[in-house]
Each structure stands twice: as structure tokens, then as C-alpha cells.
A and B are shown apart, each in its own frame.
Chain A
């Protein structure tokens, strides 16, 4: 019987939040399968052809059949066998002003695909095969990042970290997956370690998940015995699951935000992503994901195995709906979630959690620099200084004191006695900075172009000048010849 090494991390996050986690709320129910009668999939903006060129109304699309491929190479499979009901533009989840193109499907067969639509891979695929498969199966970061997995594997890597921290209160998708799908997670670990020739794997868990730990230990494959694999248990604290914080807790390495962990040879994956990858190895593309529907406003919170594109409304009503009163539904958890304005929109690959809470109106008061925010900041920023700089339109100063290092974890908002929307202010600041950068780049490009044009014109006029001079000389000499000839004639 194989035994996995379990290590207690000696490090703990400076700052961070220690709050009631609310996870029991959605874990009291078993995982439920969603069988929605309709699906609504948002199409990427980068798709070259219009949806109508691709599908016509009434077309039947088989489950697992590719729908589209993004610029990054991710192929989205059709989650269920369905007919095309309509295509068009509509509002996104967040209700952003630019509409997105939507594909509305009527489900014919509500069951998940029974046959693999891709050829199952042999054991121990090589790196190239694995990357191709991840792209073909639509494997993106299911923890909430949504970053294509295969792109992370282009770097030279040595360490895999499985991010099972799930530090944000109320979120349970990772935990439920680790409890129920531990063998699949290990399968993916085995495949990744051999395909990418990784030297070690650290699976990180917070200490509030003993059941997940037990399940992972029970499913630990003896294949990994010869390898450097361990489970590291860290103390429960928000936001220990943020990538750089997690790497520090697991390995003791600090990685600056100017570089990405993969550049240092460390790849971090969410357990849900790994479970999906294990399915992909068996030929099943990503069609479903696990969604936690929870929060104080949900009648019966729970976890749901949900086809992508399932309307949010449907998912909420499956969880007993919202309690009476005014509520906000957030995409993501209570701290990092953003409000969903269009609940008719479909579930995305990044929808790990739907969190509903009563609307609370809090009037902000001025910052008194109490420093409570700095005490909880996991990257040791001073949010009070950032806020002061940004509210005085000093973007440079804000960048100087570390604006671009902000994780946007929202811990400062939670403790602020003045009820300031600090994270929102920082997000806006970062966005302004990015716009400025883009603007600067555009201006730089324009200037380069302008200077190049001036150079070109100058060169051309110089060339013209020399040509003219040559011609003048030539014509001059021709005239001389004529004059000379005439002079001869007259003589």
C-alpha cells in the first residue's frame, strides 16, 4: 500500500484573513448533476467567421463535437447533443457594454457524452501529445483563471504544484472534486510528471479539508512512490491559494510579479483542472464543470456538476432559488467575485462558484490611515497609501508604492473600518495604467513610423536631388555638344 508523504508547511502567510469559512453550507449536500434543457454559450470575439456561417438554425450538434477554436488553440466541445436554436448577440454575464456573440442550444439528449469523442491516449503520453490533447479537449484553468493549460507547458518545468488550498470562504468546488475524484487527480499528476519530465509534485491543501486529504491519501498510486511527491498541509488563511502566495507556502520561494512562475519552472494547477485533464486523456473533452452555488441568500446551497452554458438562473433555481429580498449574485466567491448582471447568461469554464448575498449599502467614510488594510495585505502593500495616491490622481505614485503587485484579493475591503472600496479603486487604477501603457505604445509606434517616414522622404528627396544633378549635368553636356556642333556648322 502506497503512502504519500504529508508535510505541514512551516510557513504561514503574513497578513491575510482568518474568517469563518462557510464551506459546510454547500458540502452538506451530495454533488448533483444538472440537466438543463437549454444552453447558452458565449463565443470568443476573435472568431473569424460569423456563427451563422458555421451553423444554421435547427442543426444538430453531437455532444463532444468541436464548436470553435480560440486564438490560443483551445477547442470548445459541444457539452450536450443539441440543436441550434438561435445565434446572435446578447449581454454578457457581467453586463459589459460591448455585447458578445451567443450560441443558444436546445438540448436533445440531457445525458453527458457516453462515448469518448477523442481517441483515448495510451499511458504515459509524451509532452507534445499531452499539449495537443489539452488544447483539443479545451482544458483551461478551472480554478477561475481560465488560462489555457497547454500554454503553461511550453516552458521548461521542474515542479508541479496542485493548488487545493481553496482559501476563499464558501468555495467548495475544489474540495468536492478532491473528495470525489482523487484517483483522476493522481492520474493527471502521473501523466504530467512523465510527459513534462517534472522532478517533483507538491499537492497543497488547507488544514480545513481533512476529508479531501483522506481521499487523496487513499487514492495515492504506487507509481508515484519512486518520485518526489508530497502533500503539503498549510494553515487555513485567505488568500493562501493565490499563486505566488501558494508557491511561497509550499516551497519557500518568493516570485516577483514581474516574472511568471512558469518562467521559474513551477507550474500550478487546480485539482478541478487536473480531473478534467484526466478525462481528456480518456478521450472526453471538457463539457462540464463543478459549480458551487452558495451564500446566505441561497435556500439550499450545494455543488453541481454543470454542463458549460447552463443558464445561471437555472442553476440558482436548482439550488432552491434565492430567499425573498434584494440579493446580489456574484461570479466567484465573496471576496473576489464580481456581480452578475445578466443571470440568463450561461456558466463558463471559469465559473467555480455562484455566491449570493443580501444587498448591503455601506456608506464609505474618509480614510483615517489606520493601517488595518496593510496588516492583512498578503503582499505587504500599504493599501492606504495606494488609495491616497489614486484618489489624488497620482497614478505614478501609486505604481511606485506597488499598485501593480496588488492581487485584488479583497482582504483590505473586508477589514476597512471606513468601508472603502479599496480593491475596486486599485482595479480601476491598474486598468488606467494599462490603458496608458497601450496609449504610450501606440504613440511610440506612431512616432517611430513618423520618423521612419521622414527619413524615407529625406532619402528620396536626396536621391531625387542627385538624379536631377546628374541629369542636369548630362543635359548640360548635351547642350554643350549641340552648341559645339552648331559652332562647327557655322564655321
Chain B
């Protein structure tokens, strides 16, 4: 045909399943880098999420059997499992699943009604309430298969080499005494890989692959991911005029949750802006705030807070990015026409 045919997945379930498929490469790479704990987390987060979904639906007087049919609950759990530290205590993913679906979704009326991203809400609540469990569970890349899974969280971080900081953590703590090139000499960079963000970079690139798949299937648009990357990396590139005291742009791109968030978090249609132009601003805002939190904030990675903040901005963004209706003059967009 002369132009593209709109051929999206034909049902909500198919949309969710497309995202599942897109998450597979990143998940497999995570397992390779961080060990089987990722899969255990996936199961536990799934259990917590499903439990909350069933309870929530029961409480709302709906049939619990249909709860899991659309696949969105498991998707939220999956996103959470990938966002949590791989060696976090086992209660963490379960509680995260409960919070995400219980507080983040069912409380507002289920699928499509949540104002904020449920996975990011759970992440943010937990990083505030259980900061130790949420930050110390990072395994040194490629040692995941040789370290036993911690069951309770007690002793986590006690044994040197069992768990460690992420690359972004490392920069944050070492900048007090060292310059960026000196930090790059840290043994954590030499465990393998490209030397940008060891281990994590493979996971990030796998997510890029999954994101490409989602884009090709037209499940996501380019605006939100590109906006996010422009916001985050654009600021990083600008401040890279002082290379000694800033995290390198490539590290910003491949460490932490950058690419994962770009394709799977800021693209959430329910809690994000709804017009393509709005999605661009949404992504841009989330990227800028992520950079600010990473650089000046207390937390090593700020995607969760950035996305939550932008979620609350969505009504405003939607108001001012509404497409011009056919026949409507250009001046009245975003005005409060009709409300007098």
C-alpha cells in the first residue's frame, strides 16, 4: 500500500503480551549477569501482584477470575522484578507487588484508572521505607550464579564482594575524593563487558532491543523514549564540559535504569500523557528530573521519582498539548473555552 496501515495488537491482552515479549531479552540478560535471583523475584512479585489484584477485585465486587486475563498485572510485577536489586531480600518483591497493584492500581479502580505508574509507585514507597534493602541488594555483575540467594536480607552487604554498589552509586560516593577518570579505575569496571557500566550495559542494550520490537509493532511511539533520553543525556552531555566531576554520558545511558525506563516505564500509556506531543514533553520532563536526582539528589537513580512527578503533571500536559481539532482556530488550544 502507499502508506502505512495501522495494525496494532488487536486487543488489550495482545498489547500486554507484546510488552512481555519485549521484556524477554532484558530478563534473560539480567539472569545471565545477576543470577537466578531475578527469576525468583519475578515469581514473588507476580504472586504479590496477583494476590492484590484478586483481593482488590473482590473488594470492588468483581469476578476475581477475570483479574489476570488482560496480562497487565503480571506486566507490572515483571517490571518491578527487573527494577529491584537482584539480591534484595525475598520479602521485598512480594511486598512490592502487593503495593504496586494494591495501592497503585486497585485502589483507584483497576486497569486504566491509576494516575501514577504502579511499579514506580511501589519502587518509590519502598526506597523511602526500606532504603537498606532497596540499595544494597546489588550483586557484583557475573557473580550472581556463584552467590547464594539471601533469604532474609540479614547479612546482606556484610560480606565484601557478595553484594556491591551500582556504578551510579560508585560515582556518587567517590566524587568526594576522586575525579571521574580515577573512579573509572575502580575494580568494578573490570569485571567484564564494555567497561562503561559492567554487566548492566548488556541488560540495557537488551532492553533497547525489546524497545525496538515494541516500536516496530507500534505498541509505543518514539516521543516518550526519545524525550526521556534527550532530557537525561542532553543535560549529561551539556555538563560533560567538566569531565572530571560529572558522570560520563555513556554511563548515564547504559547504567542504572535508563534504557529500561525509556522503553518500558515512561511509555506507560495509562499514567503518561496521551497525545504524541504530550508524550514528548512527559519523557523530556522525566529525563531532566532523573538527571537532576542522579546528580544532586539523595538517591542513586531517580527514575521512579521523576516518573511519579511527571505522572502528576499529566493533566496539565494533556491540557496544553491537545491536538488542534479540524476547523478549530489556532489560538484557542489549551484555553478554558466552554468552562465559563
Contact = CB atoms under 8 A, between A and B. Distances in A.
Interface of A: 12, 17-18, 235, 244-245, 248, 254-257, 365-372, 374-376, 378-382, 384-385, 396, 399-402, 405, 415, 417-419
B327 interface: yes
B338 A417 contact: no
Query: What interface size band does chain B fall in?
Result: 35 or more
Contacts of A372: 6, 8
A370 B16 CA distance: 11
A417 B270 contact: no
A417 B327 contact: no
B310 to A, nearest CB: 15
A151 B218 CA distance: 47
Given A368-B15, A405-B328, 14 more contacts: A18-B5, A254-B327, A256-B328, A365-B13, A368-B72, A368-B269, A369-B270, A370-B8, A374-B323, A382-B274, A396-B338, A400-B338, A417-B14, A419-B11
Contacts of A18: 1, 3, 5-6
A368 B326 contact: no
Given A379-B326, A382-B323, A402-B325, A369 B8 contact: no
Contact of A399 (B3, B112, B338): B338
A342 B146 CA distance: 74
Nearest to B335: A400
B318 interface: yes
Contact of A417 (B5, B9, B329, B337): B9
B2 interface: yes
7 pairs of A and B residues whose beta carbons are closest in the complex: A366-B112, A256-B327, A379-B326, A380-B323, A366-B111, A400-B338, A369-B269
A418 B12 contact: yes
Given A365-B70, A366-B111, A369-B269, A415 B5 contact: no
A415 B6 contact: yes
Nearest to B318: A385
A205 B6 CA distance: 23
B60 interface: no
B331 interface: no
A400 B337 contact: yes
B113 interface: yes
Contacts of A367: 112
Nearest to B10: A417
Nearest to B279: A371
B186 interface: no
A383 to B, nearest CB: 10
B176 interface: no
B251 interface: no
A248 B326 contact: yes
A416 to B, nearest CB: 9
6 contacts: A368-B111, A371-B274, A379-B326, A380-B324, A382-B275, A396-B339
A257 B327 contact: yes
Interface string B309-340: 00000000010001111111100000011110
B109 to A, nearest CB: 9
A415 B327 contact: no
A365 B326 contact: no
A139 B70 CA distance: 51
Interface in B97-145: 110-113
B269 A371 contact: yes
A398 to B, nearest CB: 10
B3 to A, nearest CB: 7
Contact of B15 (A370, A381, A415): A370
B327 A244 contact: yes
Nearest to B337: A400
Contacts of B113: 366
